[in-house]
Structure 1
Amino acid sequence: MESGKDKYELVLKNNRVRQYRIFAILIILLNLTLLALLAFYTSNPSHRSFALTGLVLCPLSFAVAWFMGRNKRSTRSWDPLTASFFYLIFSWALMTYWLPAALNFLLFAFYIISRRQLIVQVAVDHIFYPSFPARTVSWKEMNNVILKDGLLTLDFKNNKILQNEIVNTPGDIPESEFNRFCQARMSA
């Protein structure tokens, strides 16, 4: 190969992260409402204490994680919603309400999957596309792969086209070098 590179990694822009975050906040608020109702209307003292604990720890963990994420000296990017989901799931499980605990766990898993970093790997023998579930595409399935003005276009032989904006800085991946690499892989 001319360029000496055998793999490119392109980070795709995830345009829906804000929508997923709003949806997760609404789920957490619904759970807090249900815990508050349960805390005030249950006759079981242990359920009341676990519901009140969840009502206190969930917003508290959100606030702590939010302030830690805003701290410029913090080495981690904390997600406040992760801690909140943890305490909600834990509260429902302690009260042996398995259906709400399982449902929240499932929604939390979808939230984590939806906000992951989307990385397309273009290698010598295949293209790895980060859909859900992840997909590995052979070069034989492709008509064309082009990177132009920060837009990645994958043109499949079955007339399917995927276009995504990338967030890599322009100097990270020289477009002409990447396009030559892809043309060489498709003709091989």
Structure 2
Amino acid sequence: MLFRRAVVYKYVVTLKNQNRRYLDILGLLLSIISIVCFTQELLRSQNVSVGYLLGTLAVLGFVIYNLTQQAKKRKVFYSRALLIAGLVWMKMPYFSWLLFVFVILALLEYQAKYAIEIGFSDNEIVINTMLRKRYNWTQFSNIVLKDGLLTLDFVNNRILQREVEDDEDDDADEDEFNAYCSHQLALHHNSASRQQ
């Protein structure tokens, strides 16, 4: 859980990360393209370059490992393969600037694959993304969790609607969460109107 402050969150809702599949495909494609380019450069050079050979074997090993883990329905990360590929790209006679692209992608992969958590406390709502976003209850007109879909309806007519992670939630939990949100919205909107 990413919430570490002393704030007690009555509810923490975890949203499904819809980007994980696309990030896995991107990591796989970049790894395969790197393997092909390294092998081509290895075959083209007259002397066997240990760097190209070890880089090709290491990236290929990580790709095979990740594919077997994916077949077992486990999470995979291509960051190690991308870091090694980036180091080998640095040695390549062309496109050596790809080192920076591969290192940045490798460093951002873990953060991009984390599921987003939304914490609901009596005072605020916090969306835990790369940059934590804090909202007051008065910034929302309605908050509903129904059939695994969380809807945050902002006062400025903006809507955030996302699927939540499957956690054996039954309808009683959704009803309890919706009652809590309705109570907090009414409480904070009433106190805000009294202050005006």
Q: Distance in 2 between matches of 1:133 and 1:29?
A: 32
Q: Give the unaligned 5+ runs of structure 2.
A: 1-7, 189-196
1:57 aligns with 2:75: no
Whether the aligned pair in 2 keeps the contact of 1:153 and 1:162 (CA below 8 Å) is yes
Q: TM-score, normalised by structure 2?
A: 0.75
For the structure 1 residues 16 and 78, does the alpha-carbon distance in structure 2 shift closer, same or farther, using more than 3 Å as the test? closer
Whether the aligned pair in 2 keeps the contact of 1:10 and 1:119 (CA below 8 Å) is yes
For the structure 1 residues 68 and 12, does the alpha-carbon distance in structure 2 shift closer, same or farther, using more than 3 Å as the test? closer
1:84 aligns with 2:81: yes
Specify the alignment match of 1:25 in structure 2: 28
Q: Note the 1:1-188 alignment, pairs <5 A.
A: 6-42=9-45, 48-64=49-65, 66-67=67-68, 79=76, 81-93=78-90, 99-167=97-165, 168-171=167-170, 174-186=173-185, 187-188=187-188
Q: Give the unaligned 5+ runs of structure 1.
A: none
Q: TM-score, normalised by structure 1?
A: 0.77
Q: Distance in 2 between matches of 1:69 and 1:26?
A: 15
2:57 maps to a residue whose letter is: V
1:60 maps to a residue whose letter is: G
2:79 maps to a residue whose letter is: T
Specify the alignment match of 2:191 in structure 1: none
Q: Distance in 2 between matches of 1:71 and 1:153?
A: 32
Q: Distance in 2 between matches of 1:148 and 1:172?
A: 8
Identity %: 22
Count of aligned pairs between the two proteins = 178
1:124 alignment partner, SS class? coil
1:156 maps to a residue whose letter is: F
Q: Please tell me the root mean square deviation across aligned C-alpha atoms, in Å.
A: 3.0
Q: Distance in 2 between matches of 1:27 and 1:55?
A: 13
